[in-house]
């Protein structure tokens, strides 16, 4: 299946775009999204579309700090049922462990964790926020939104006791550096290996005033019973295998079955039990990869065709028209250039 994210992750997007003078409905529609989904507590949307609309809005509305602005307008509630598990945890360490375990409820393409300090300082750890780039392309605005919200939640739960030393951002600054230091209240370093908050180790032992063991047990039981881990699904394993090998080997079920140590017929039966098929998953993987290459790179169409596992450029063209109702060049032009009349276009 296409990697998804809770639509609540875009909460506040519509009013922000409208305050900036943009047409929120038209912008969302361009990426196959509807305003109604953003108002739902349960709706899921493709994470690639989620991220592309953020990057497009920032560029076209001349708002390089759009991700940070959106983070300022959000709170823990955008995580839905995962929020209750985090709030009822006894310590920061426990909350992070449970958030890491159940982040797939918000999006299986995202993860948080605790790692050794990348700068090697004693008594300091890195709270990381990552996106699986095998599942969806990198988005600077989405990373800033996620990292900004990560920080906002920490402040909400532990107050001023965050012990924040500095912030690490994988990309180069989109806004003046002063905007970042103002937001985080700490130094910010760019071009790093991962998005992270560098905090003093003792923060992990900080206790939450909202801790409640009984509520947490109920919340965890609810997640465990209603949200099975997608990593255990055969269809997820097949998707990851195809995503990792697309363009390098022939995308045949025999090869994937060999990789997963099952017979091809057994693999088909397991997929059917999940309401999936190898052919449908392959089509989804190719569609997502084609969209990523066409909208985020300038690679020649023949090379894009090869990267998504097609032997002919014409096959790519037919597939893109079936998926998106446009030619590869039209899809690229629409995604990479602002619509006439947008703020960016008018400023040229």
Give the tens place of pLDDT for each residue, 240-283: 888 878 888 788 899 898 888 889 999 999 999 888 899 999 99
Please tell me whether residues 192 and 249 are part of one structural domain: no
Unique residue bearing structure tokens 């109604």: 36
Please tell me whether residues 134 and 208 are part of one structural domain: yes
21-58 residues labelled b (16+ CB within 10 A) or e (exposed): ebebeebbebbebeeebbeeeeebbbbbbbbbbbbbbb
* In-domain check, residue 272: yes
* In-domain check, residue 19: no
What is the domain extent for residue 97? 63-225
Are 71 and 148 in contact by the 8 Å Cβ rule? The answer is yes
Please tell me whether residues 196 and 123 are part of one structural domain: yes
pTM of the predicted protein model: 0.73
3-state helix, strand, coil in the chain (%, to 5): 55, 10, 30
Residue 294 in this model has a pLDDT that exceeds 70: yes
* In-domain check, residue 41: no
Last residue of one domain, picked from the residues 199, 225, 251: 225
Q: What is the pLDDT of residue 335?
A: 65
pLDDT in tens, 188-245: 999 999 999 999 999 999 999 899 999 999 999 999 888 877 767 788 888 888 887 8
pLDDT classification of 1: cutoffs 50, 70, 90: low
Please tell me whether residues 114 and 171 are part of one structural domain: yes
CATH code, domain with 261: 1.10.10.60
Please tell me whether residues 267 and 306 are part of one structural domain: yes
Please tell me whether residues 266 and 332 are part of one structural domain: yes
Please tell me whether residues 310 and 257 are part of one structural domain: yes
Please tell me whether residues 221 and 174 are part of one structural domain: yes
């Amino acid at each position: 299946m296409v990697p998804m994210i809770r639509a609540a992750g875009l909460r506040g997007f519509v009013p922000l775009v409208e305050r900036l003078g943009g047409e929120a409905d038209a912008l969302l529609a361009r990426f196959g999204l509807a305003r109604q989904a953003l108002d739902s507590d349960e709706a899921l949307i493709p994470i690639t579309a989620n991220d592309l609309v953020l990057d497009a809005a920032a560029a076209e509305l001349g708002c390089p700090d759009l991700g940070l602005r959106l983070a300022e307008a959000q709170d823990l509630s955008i995580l839905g049922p995962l929020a209750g598990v985090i709030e009822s945890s006894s310590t920061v360490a426990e909350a992070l462990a449970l958030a890491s375990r159940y982040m797939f409820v918000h999006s299986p393409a995202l993860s948080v964790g605790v790692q050794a300090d990348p700068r090697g300082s004693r008594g300091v750890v890195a709270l990381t926020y990552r996106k699986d780039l095998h599942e969806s392309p990198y988005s600077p605005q989405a990373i800033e939104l996620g990292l900004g919200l990560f920080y906002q939640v920490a402040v909400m739960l532990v107050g001023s006791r965050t012990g924040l030393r500095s912030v690490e951002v994988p990309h180069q600054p989109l806004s003046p550096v002063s905007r970042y230091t103002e937001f985080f209240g700490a130094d910010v370093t760019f071009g790093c290996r991962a998005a992270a908050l560098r905090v003093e180790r003792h923060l992990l032992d900080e206790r939450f005033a909202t801790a409640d063991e009984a509520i947490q047990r109920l919340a965890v039981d609810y997640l465990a019973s209603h949200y099975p881990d997608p990593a255990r699904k055969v269809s997820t394993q097949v998707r990851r295998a195809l995503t990792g090998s697309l363009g390098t080997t022939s995308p045949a079920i025999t090869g994937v079955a060999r990789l997963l140590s099952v017979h091809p017929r057994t693999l088909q039966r397991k997929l059917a039990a999940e309401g999936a098929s190898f052919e449908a998953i392959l089509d989804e993987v190719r569609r997502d990869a084609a969209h990523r290459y066409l909208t985020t790179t300038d690679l020649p169409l023949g090379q894009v065709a090869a990267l998504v596992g097609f032997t002919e450029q014409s096959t790519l063209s037919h597939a893109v028209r079936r998926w998106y109702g446009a030619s590869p060049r039209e899809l690229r032009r629409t995604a990479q250039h602002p619509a006439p009349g947008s703020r960016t276009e008018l400023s040229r």
